[in-house]
Chains A and B, each alone.
Chain A
């Protein structure tokens, strides 16, 4: 069965430090992979997506993610975290052949220390 695992429920980093959020997926074929961010009380905003091609994808707000097929991973990174990055982050895999039908991980809550 398709699944997504985000091993870290909560991460705290200092402002200016680098960030890596982990995501592992289970999917039989080439996956469509997404990272979404949710600010408190808000909906989800797409940060970046991977469909094919270059395994390092760039997103909005300075985020990037790397698809590693051998590790079934799609980790999210940012070189220098800003206080405004504090939010919940969700990794998701596209289920089936229609956009929008997603399987989400449990989410990782990011806190940023001044």
Chain B
């Protein structure tokens, strides 16, 4: 079965370190997204990609970067981790557009809990 997997599931890192969170999907979806989840804010979009070599900034992109070298992967990098980036991170993927029947939905990974100390 197709799936979307994130690794690691849990990570503790120190302030100032570079951290990369992995996201791999086997749906063959063009669209991939990174969200962060914080209490009181729901999920907020960090970066997204509509295809290979395409990346775009979301609502809360400062301090984060992504690259898309193939269809399956969209790694999220924290250039210099800060305590404010302690959060749960979710990767998602979807087909392009909304489709004729509006059947495009986002499929989410299990999340990565990142703690910056």
With both beta carbons as reference points, the residue of chain A lying nearest to B91 in the complex is identified as A43
- Interface residue count on the B side (C-beta < 8 Å): 31
Pairwise interchain contact B43-A98, C-beta atoms closer than 8 A:
no
Which residue of B96, B102, B111 contacts A49 across the interface (Cβ within 8 Å)?
B102
Question: Counting CB contacts under 8 A, is A42 at the interface?
Answer: yes
Report the Cα distance A95→B48, complex, angstroms.
12
- Interface residue count on the A side (C-beta < 8 Å): 30
Which residue of B40, B42, B48 contacts A90 across the interface (Cβ within 8 Å)?
B42
Pairwise interchain contact A100-B43, C-beta atoms closer than 8 A:
no
| Residue ranges of B at the interface with A (Cβ–Cβ < 8 Å) | 29, 31-33, 35, 40-45, 48, 50, 90, 92-99, 101-102, 104-106, 108-111
CB-contacts of A86-100 with B (<8 A): 90, 92, 94-95, 97-100
